[in-house]
C-alpha cells in the first residue's frame, strides 16, 4: 500500500534558477504506508539535524563572543550538550592542527585543511559528469590518494589562477566551487589573524612554511588533530577492515 502526500507550495521558491521553472504549482510524493506513517507532523529543523562542528567554526570566524548565546537565539536552539560537544570537538581539532602546524613549520597547508574541514567539499560532482569530475579530482590527489592534500593543491592552484585572472576557467575545468574556495580563503584569513595575534606564528611567512613541502609531516599533523577519530587498516587474506583503538565506530577519512 502506498500513501500520497501533497505539498502545495510555490515552485518559484523551490525551483528558482533551475531550468526556468518559476510558476506556482503542486508537488506530489508517493511513499509506502509504513514510511508515511512514521513521518513526524513537522520536519525537524536543519539546525537540529546536522553536526554542529562546521557551524560552530563558522560562527567563531565571525568573532562572536559566545557561540552558545548565538545559537540560543534560534527559534529552536540545539540542546546545550550537543552545542557544547560540537563547540569543544571542532575547537579542539582545529586548535590542535593549527598549533601543530605552526610548531612544525608547515602552517599554510594545515591552515587550508582546517578551513576546508569547516565548509563543504569544494569538489563538485555533477550527476551527468561524474567520471570527468572524478578524473579531475584524482589529478589533485596524485599518488598519495589523500583528500586533504587534494584540497591543498586545489586551493593553491585556484590562488595561482586568480592572480593570473583565470580563476573562473580554473574552477570550471576542474569541477570546483568558486564560492566554497572563497569561503575557505576567508576562513584562512580569520584563523591566521587569530594565531598571529596570539603570537603562535611568525610574521615571516617563509619561516612558518619552512617544512610545508614535507607531506609526511603535514599528514602527521592532520592525524594529531583528528585523533581519536582515525582508524588503522587491517589486511586479511580475503578482506580488509578498519579498526579504531577501541574497535568501535569510526569516521573513515583518506589521509595516508
Cβ proximity of 209 and 192 under 8 Å: no
Diameter of the chain by CA atoms? Answer: 68
For residue 11, pLDDT over 60 is answered with: no
3-state secondary structure 164-206: CCCHHHHHHHHCECHHHHHHHHHHHHHHHHHHHHCCCCCCCHH
The whole-angstrom separation of Cα 149 and Cα 137 is 11
For residue 81, pLDDT over 50 is answered with: no
pTM of the predicted protein model: 0.59
Domain extents in the chain = 2-38, 46-243
For residue 107, pLDDT over 70 is answered with: yes
For 71, 92, 123, the CA distances from 242, given in Å and listed in that order, are: 36, 24, 25
Give 168-204 pLDDT, tens digit per residue.
Answer: 999 999 999 998 999 899 989 888 888 888 888 887 8
Give 36-55 pLDDT, tens digit per residue.
Answer: 776 667 766 766 655 565 56
Amino acid at each position: 500500500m502506498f500513501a500520497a502526500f501533497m505539498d502545495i507550495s510555490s515552485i518559484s521558491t523551490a525551483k528558482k534558477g533551475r531550468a526556468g521553472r518559476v510558476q506556482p504549482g503542486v508537488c506530489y510524493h508517493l511513499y509506502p504506508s509504513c514510511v508515511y506513517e512514521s513521518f513526524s507532523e513537522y520536519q525537524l529543523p536543519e539546525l537540529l539535524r546536522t553536526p554542529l562542528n562546521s557551524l560552530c567554526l563558522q560562527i567563531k570566524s565571525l568573532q562572536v563572543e559566545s557561540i552558545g548565546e548565538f545559537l540560543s537565539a534560534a527559534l529552536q536552539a540545539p540542546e546545550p550538550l550537543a552545542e557544547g560537544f560540537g563547540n569543544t570537538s571542532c575547537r579542539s581539532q582545529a586548535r590542535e592542527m593549527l598549533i601543530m602546524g605552526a610548531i612544525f613549520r608547515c602552517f599554510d597547508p594545515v591552515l587550508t585543511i582546517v578551513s576546508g574541514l569547516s565548509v563543504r567539499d569544494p569538489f563538485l560532482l555533477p550527476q551527468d559528469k561524474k567520471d570527468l569530475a572524478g578524473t579531475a579530482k584524482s589529478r589533485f590527489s596524485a599518488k598519495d590518494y589523500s583528500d586533504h592534500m587534494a584540497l591543498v593543491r586545489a586551493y593553491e592552484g585556484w590562488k595561482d589562477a586568480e592572480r593570473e585572472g583565470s580563476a573562473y576557467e580554473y574552477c570550471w575545468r576542474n569541477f570546483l566551487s568558486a564560492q566554497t574556495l572563497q569561503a575557505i580563503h576567508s576562513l584562512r584569513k580569520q584563523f591566521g589573524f587569530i594565531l598571529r595575534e596570539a603570537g603562535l606564528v611568525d610574521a615571516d611567512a617563509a619561516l612558518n612554511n619552512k617544512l610545508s613541502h614535507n607531506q609526511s609531516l603535514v599528514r602527521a599533523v592532520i592525524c594529531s588533530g583528528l585523533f581519536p577519530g582515525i582508524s588503522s587498516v587491517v589486511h586479511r587474506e580475503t578482506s580488509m577492515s578498519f579498526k579504531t583503538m577501541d574497535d568501535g565506530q569510526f569516521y573513515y577519512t583518506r589521509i595516508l
